[in-house]
Amino acid sequence: MHINQYRCTAEEIARRLEDQITPRIHTPLLKQSKHHKTAIALGLIAALVSPSLLAADMDVQQKLDSLQREIDALKAQMKTQASSGAPQQTRTGPEVSFGGQYRINAYSADNDVVGQGNQTATRVRIRQNVDIKFDERFKTHFQMELGHTTDNITTTSGSDRATNLNVRHAVLDYTTLSGVNLQAGIVPLSDYFGDTLFSGDWNYNPVAVSALAPVGTGRLRAFAGTLRETVGAGGETVSKDDTTHYQLDYVLPLGNSTKINFGASYVTLTPDVLTPFRSGDSSNYGVGVQFGLGRGLQLNGFVVGSSTDKKLLAPGAGDGSGVAAKLELTGGAGPGKFGLLATHATGKSDGSGFLPVMALSRTNGYWGYTGILTIQGPTDTGFDGDSVNISNNGYGLSTVQAKYSFPITPDLTGYVAAGWFGNSKAQGGRSGDVGTDFLLMGTYRFNKYLSLDFGGAYAKLEDSVSGYSNGIVGGAAFNQGVGVSRNKSALFTRLQAEF
């Protein structure tokens, strides 16, 4: 065997040692420079010229060949897995999150009515969310609700209130590449006028299709929804009122804290064979503004009109029409925050004045500051039957309300509110005043999820209160007889976890 043959073998060994052995064995050689590695390789070549190293050379060659066969086998295996579509370990599924609201209400309310005792109860209500995010553009929202229940011997469905677990929300949510958000299912929907016309917080959750799209510098919302009401004000089953609601809204930002919004609602009720006068339509249309005044002050307001088919109102009433307006100033004062609110809705003695969508669906919203004639979350419970919508069911209503919230300790917040409700056009010699309302409440936060609300409310109620639950389809009613006034008071607590 010639020396040249050994030289070729040595050169091949040097190349393979540098390319294959060095990455596999972590020795200080890995930290050497490229020139240092070359010097080592040349030294190895010179040494291999010696016949005494030929045996070692052949042994290294065999090991290199074995390593190369292993590398080729691994490459073939990886290629086979890629072509077969085998799942990769880095693949992940959708993101699932759970939210909810667990509430325990307790209250004692005195309606000041002869022959009626106090309303006293402790009730539990649970709402559980399941939200699934499949990717940045598609997600779902699902909410189950256990309605207020007061007792439970076997299961909640067997209690005196026969409470069942129901579906409250079920939403498919998809955003297109152009930024249009689409929703379909049982969708919570609220107006852009401060929850005054309709409110998802107050169970306005129709089966609907909704689209929210960028248009110019603003955003356009359009939806169509259907509702079916089969339960009367007293809980009895009545005829079916099928309602269809179409809505258009456009919100135009004018600055960091200023925007203007336009909105129009069109609601139709289909004919009913038992009460054909229910067939008709109603609409709302208006403009709202929000102005940032600086120094933390915010001015909100709107003007909204309404038109209602007389077939939806009391027999003998004319077509309904009217206007409602709101002006609100909020901001900071001392250590706390304040709000001043004034509203006015035109009315008529037959209930054909201004009417919001809420009056057709017998729902309401958190549109005011007080606890009985308007309500807050902790007073939204078994004694809320005297709360009114912004128009007092078409009889007209003016209000002046004020609120102030302030810290007492780092964990305890106080809240006080008062309001006057009047200028009603109620029929039959009823009072022009609706009432006055006062609320005192505290909120203690155990952490960012769990809180305890507690307080008291008092209202002087005249005989022209037409509670939201009366509605207006077929004719609105009043809570008291002519000339009967009341002093209503309530003590309440609410322990709630919200997450």
Indicate if 412 and 473 belong to the same structural domain. Answer: yes
Q: What is the pTM of this model?
A: 0.78
Among 27-41, 215-229, 282-296, the least confident range: 27-41
pLDDT at 148: 82
Indicate if 406 and 490 belong to the same structural domain. Answer: yes
pLDDT at 62: 76
Among 58, 84, 110, residue at a domain's last position: 84
Is 140 inside any structural domain?
yes
Indicate if 386 and 274 belong to the same structural domain. Answer: yes
- Give the C-alpha separation, 495 to 105, whole Å: 7
Indicate if 27 and 136 belong to the same structural domain. Answer: no
Average pLDDT estimate for 51-66: 62
Q: With a cut of 60, say whether residue 490 has pLDDT above it.
A: yes
- Give the C-alpha separation, 72 to 125, whole Å: 65
pLDDT at 32: 44
List the one residue out of 287, 313, 314 whose CA is nearest residue 301. 287
| 277 vs 348, more confident | 348
C-alpha angle with apex 419: 414 to 424, nearest 5 degrees?
Answer: 160
Indicate if 275 and 342 belong to the same structural domain. Answer: yes
Question: What are the CA-CA distances from residue 185 to residues 74, 134, 171 (Å)?
Answer: 51, 17, 5
Indicate if 464 and 392 belong to the same structural domain. Answer: yes
Which tens digits make up the pLDDT trace of 126-176? 999 999 999 999 999 999 998 888 766 666 666 655 667 889 999 999 999
Indicate if 141 and 165 belong to the same structural domain. Answer: yes
| 247 vs 112, more confident | 247
Contact 412, 443 (CB under 8 A): yes
- Give the C-alpha separation, 404 to 456, whole Å: 15
Average pLDDT estimate for 381-386: 94
11 is written with which tokens? 């050169």
Domain tally, the chain: 2
Is 91 inside any structural domain?
no
Which tens digits make up the pLDDT trace of 182-229? 999 999 999 999 999 999 999 999 999 999 999 999 999 999 999 876
Indicate if 22 and 159 belong to the same structural domain. Answer: no
Indicate if 391 and 468 belong to the same structural domain. Answer: yes
pLDDT at 51: 47
Is 48 inside any structural domain?
yes
Q: With a cut of 90, say whether residue 108 has pLDDT above it.
A: yes
Is 335 inside any structural domain?
yes
Among 84, 105, 136, residue at a domain's last position: 84
Q: Which long-range contacts (CB under 8 A, 24 or more apart) does 163-168 make?
A: 167/142, 167/143, 168/127, 168/143, 168/144, 168/203, 168/205
Among 22, 57, 84, residue at a domain's last position: 84
Indicate if 65 and 174 belong to the same structural domain. Answer: no
Q: With a cut of 60, say whether residue 268 has pLDDT above it.
A: yes
Is 90 inside any structural domain?
no
Is 377 inside any structural domain?
yes
Rounded mean pLDDT of the chain?
85
Query: CB-hemisphere CA count at 13 Å for 165?
Result: 8
Phi, psi of 300 (to 5 degrees): -120, 145
Residue ranges making up the domain that contains 37? 3-84
Is 295 inside any structural domain?
yes
The set of residues, in sequence order, having a beta carbon less than 8 Å from that of 310 and lying 6+ positions away, is 280, 317, 318, 319, 320, 352
Q: How confident is the model at residue 49 (pLDDT cuts 50, 70, 90)?
A: very low
- We report the CATH number of the domain holding residue 319 as 2.40.160.100
Is 119 inside any structural domain?
yes
- Give the C-alpha separation, 246 to 268, whole Å: 9
Contact 368, 419 (CB under 8 A): yes
pLDDT at 24: 42
Q: With a cut of 60, say whether residue 38 has pLDDT above it.
A: no
- Give the C-alpha separation, 52 to 245, whole Å: 97
Indicate if 174 and 124 belong to the same structural domain. Answer: yes
Which tens digits make up the pLDDT trace of 459-468? 999 999 999 9
Indicate if 38 and 172 belong to the same structural domain. Answer: no
90 is written with which tokens? 């880095």
